[in-house]
Amino acid sequence: MKNSNFMRILFISRAFPPITGGIENQNAALAEWLPKHATVRTLANHGGKAALPFFTIRTFFLGLFLIPKYDVVLLGDGVLAPLGFAFRVFFWKKTIAVVLHGLDLTFATKKGFLSTLYRFMNIPCLKTFNLYIPVSQETLDTAVKVGLSREKCVVINNGIDPATLSGNFTRSDLATFLGVDLTNKSVIVRVGRYVKHKGNEWFIRNVMPLLLDNVILITAGAVVKKSTPGDADIYPACQAAVTELGLEKRVKLLTNLPWEKIKLLYHTADIVVSPNIVVPGTMEGFGISVIEAALCGRPVIASNLQGLKDAIIQDENGLLVEPGNTLGWSGAISMLLENEHARLDLGQRASTYTREHYHWQIISQKYVDTLARIVKHS
């Protein structure tokens, strides 16, 4: 096997900060942590979708010059499949790998011209690659469903950097930020984009009415501007649900918060939830927000579906409840809120488990070791 310490990786990412999102954050972490174990050159698109055409053309010509110097080309997600195939044409012996997140696969299953084009262009291109790195078992299963080889798949979960979540926050800080009195209140937090499959509206309409009046829900996430199946903006629907049910004093809908405020929510919540529901054509590839919350010592309750089943291990770093099970959700939340010892114990165990299993130091080493193994056999 090629010594992983001497691996040379050309990492290409079309989704990268300052644009926000799960893929962007994961790719940025890879760019930061892979160089701790190998020689890495990162080519990243910092300009979002508008800059993607220029980035792709520039990267293609730059890649023709750089690729001979590297052992493997690692693509940040499946959208870059045509670029990887172009490199395959010129460097047919070069090892090409790709990280698969879920949405870069389910897009091929949707209806419409762009999805059809993606299905007949990106999927065949992906089939020529040497290695797929799905971020969860569910993503692997989805990859197989769209025609990719199971034998070429190695699941490596997303990671987390504890340093980015450190901080000293109190419930008083949260009360000041919200501008409300939190005395004798229980706080539930949900961090995630306002899209249907995240389950925000479902939770407000179906679970909040079953909880005690002293329970407050805070949702925080980006408002989606595009309108595609599964990703349509549901922020207005959440607002309507709050109004219709008279929950204005119990539900706070926050948008586009800076990272410090997200950390404030993680560190001061009583419970963090991820009540995802099934929406055809989309999925939760992993669920990074739940392990962020777990690392902060929060008890997490998540839907038992898709990538969340990889992120949360029952009774280790959280609880899993069947999606759409209203009584199951309200019961799990009430149990933890009524039992402080159980709540604090689960939070402490969640933090320890997450640090030991999802630290980027561990995850990035898995990437390099896996790539080295594939290069040896390519």
Segments forming the whole domain that contains residue 154: 4-159+359-377
The answer to whether residues 206 and 354 belong to one domain is yes
The answer to whether residues 88 and 179 belong to one domain is no
Q: Are 209 and 246 in contact (CB under 8 A)?
A: no
Q: How many structural domains comprise the chain?
A: 2
User: Tokens 């987390």 identify what position?
Assistant: 160
pLDDT profile of the chain (378 residues), mean per 10: 74 90 90 97 93 96 97 96 96 96 83 85 95 94 94 96 94 96 96 92 98 97 66 89 97 94 97 93 84 95 92 91 97 97 95 94 97 88
Q: In the prediction, which pLDDT does 18 show?
A: 87
**Strand ranges (E), 147-241:** 186-191, 215-221
- Domain of residue 242, CATH code: 3.40.50.2000
The answer to whether residues 175 and 77 belong to one domain is no
Q: In the prediction, which pLDDT does 3 show?
A: 55
The answer to whether residues 56 and 29 belong to one domain is yes
The answer to whether residues 271 and 351 belong to one domain is yes
Structure tokens at 250: 């119990």
Phi/psi class of residue 211: alpha, beta or left (left: φ > 0; alpha: ψ in -120 to 50)? beta
The answer to whether residues 211 and 346 belong to one domain is yes
Q: In the prediction, which pLDDT does 228 show?
A: 47
Residue 220: closest CA among 268, 243, 253: 253
The answer to whether residues 10 and 116 belong to one domain is yes
